[in-house]
Chain A
Amino acid sequence: MSIANFHPNDLLAILPELALVVLAGVIMTMDIVLAENRKRLLGLTTAVGSFVIIAAAVIFSQPNGELIWGGMISNDMVAFIFRLVFIFAGGITALLSVDVKGVAHKGDYYAIILGAVVGMCFMALAADIIMLYLAVETTGIAGYVLAGYVHRSSRSAEAGLKYFLFGAATSAVMLYGLSLVYGFTGETNLTAIASVLASGKVGISVILASAILILVGVGFKIAIVPFHFWAPDVYEGAPTPVTGFISTAAKTAGFAVLIRVFITGLTASEYWLPILVALAALTMTIGNLLALAQKNIKRLLAYSSIAHAGYALVAFVALSELGVAATVFYLMVYVITNLAAFGVVILVSRSGAGEEIAGYAGMSRRSPYLALAMLVAFLSLAGMPPLAGFFGKFYVFAAAMKAGLVWLALVGVLNAIIGLYYYLVVLKVVYVSPPQEGALAIEVPRAYSFALVILSVGIVLLGTAASPWFEWALSAAQGIF
């Protein structure tokens, strides 16, 4: 394939990414120009810019399902949904950062977030292993910097180093897997790879070996067992808005790659599917069981996010249109819900109450609206109707049942019950435990209440009116089968 048949529409297709890069440039310039006391505008501009870009993308960049730019990227609906989710997560993260010490008034911080968002968009778009590897690394490098951003705090620097060492090592393993894929098919384009594999010329062991090696790299990104060791430490040590960003957007980007590589590329699913099924069950169970014992809210959310990757994987291993649609929908829900949860965590730790769950005692009496946002987010994470999390889990388990994986769906339901328990324990602290002596109301700046309102409305909307969103995800899934 060659770039010779270039069409101006190809530029329109990557308009969101181009706009994000321009926005990053604008932010860096504003950082120099603005006076110190007006630096709050940086985060607000990033957020507003992101939302404008989402609107522009919906109007101008509707996907046509074609391979463009010489076959490097696939302009299809799955990529489109994922990109909107990433840009949304980036915007909300910026909004949630505007009053956080250490990151709030730094133009380069927002610029790197935007860089990471573009990397994630490329991960969703990539249709070629070269593009895929580059995208994974772009996201990774930006992520390492963000995790270690407050490097004068040794916790943050250590989180950055740990994230970096795990990320670099696993992506090197993934690269080796990609080299095997290239070597035994002779192609770099995922669609072409699939057609070579379909011809049956490539041996089982080679497919299996490369699938496992690639899974190491992707497994790190989505933090599934046994590649989850980094997650709790990095989530705890990184600045909280970054934790929210990494645990939602970066994880979702990993799933985008999973869908691309394992459904579009390595179509010989009978070899690698059992591994993924086992990992899905293990990830849910281990994530939830470890979450039970946590006293620190960020670590609790870290383990719970491991478990949520497991649920999304349950839908994925159904390997059907319904399954992919359920994965995409679940991730949309998860991103919105988890960002809301982290928004509350940021506000509470800003108020000086720390990150221990005990510090949330009596929050309902100190700040009833904030407690309500937390209630909505945690009940949605737990999967209670009528919130979005319920329908996310409903579609996931339905997809698994339909694919004949009844036992996996059952494991998932049992896990959802364990999950419900520890989310309710936190809510009990918030609503029932008496507040500490002299505890004041938690200050909620307007940017944060705006973000939390958007997210809470989103959670309720994706729950009460789930079907149009799910139809959207389904139309995306139909595009890749």
Chain B
Amino acid sequence: MIPTTYYLALSAILFSIGVIGVLVRRNAIVIFMSIELMLNSANLAFVAFAREFGTLDGQLMVFFVMTVAAAEVAVGLALIVAIFRSKASIDVDAVNLLKG
């Protein structure tokens, strides 16, 4: 059996990559994908912990997170499409009508 800690380490690495993506990438869609990666790494941690305790609550949480992610993706992409229609750019720095 693979120890839970290995999974945790992997999930932490994936989460870190997601955080880097959110902070350094400028394309709204790629930032958004990085957020999905972060959610996914949290899910991996939940499932690994669920096995650790032999309970299913962690898996249930993942189930809910996926539902939320699906809804979030729909709304997020709709916003990106709306912005693209009015500005033809999804470069976050080009979103400069409002000051940072």
Contacts and interface: CB of A to CB of B under 8 A. Distances in A.
Contact of B38 (A151, A161, A164, A169): A169
A232 B97 CA distance: 12
B17 interface: no
A186 B53 contact: yes
A299 to B, nearest CB: 9
A250 to B, nearest CB: 16
**Interface of chain B: mostly helix, strand, loop or mixed:** helix
Contacts of A367: none
Interface in A192-206: none
Contact of A145 (B31, B32, B46, B75): B75
Size bracket, chain A contacts: 35 or more
Contacts of A38: none
Contact of A130 (B38, B48, B57, B99): B57
Size bracket, chain B contacts: 35 or more
Contact of B57 (A133, A175, A188): A188
**Interface of chain A: mostly helix, strand, loop or mixed:** helix
A329 B99 CA distance: 33
A133 B83 contact: no
B18 A172 contact: yes
Interface in B28-51: 28, 31-32, 35, 38-39, 41-42, 45-46, 48-49
B42 A182 contact: no
Of the candidates B32, B38, B79, B80, the one having the most CB atoms from chain A within 10 angstroms of its own CB is B79
A444 to B, nearest CB: 29
Interface string B63-81: 0110010011001100110
A169 B76 CA distance: 12
A7 interface: no
Contacts of B35: 165, 168-169, 172
Interface string A190-232: 0000000000000000000000000000000000000001001
Given A141-B71, A152-B86, A164-B76, A158 B97 contact: yes
A165 B65 CA distance: 17
Nearest to A187: B57
A176 B45 contact: yes
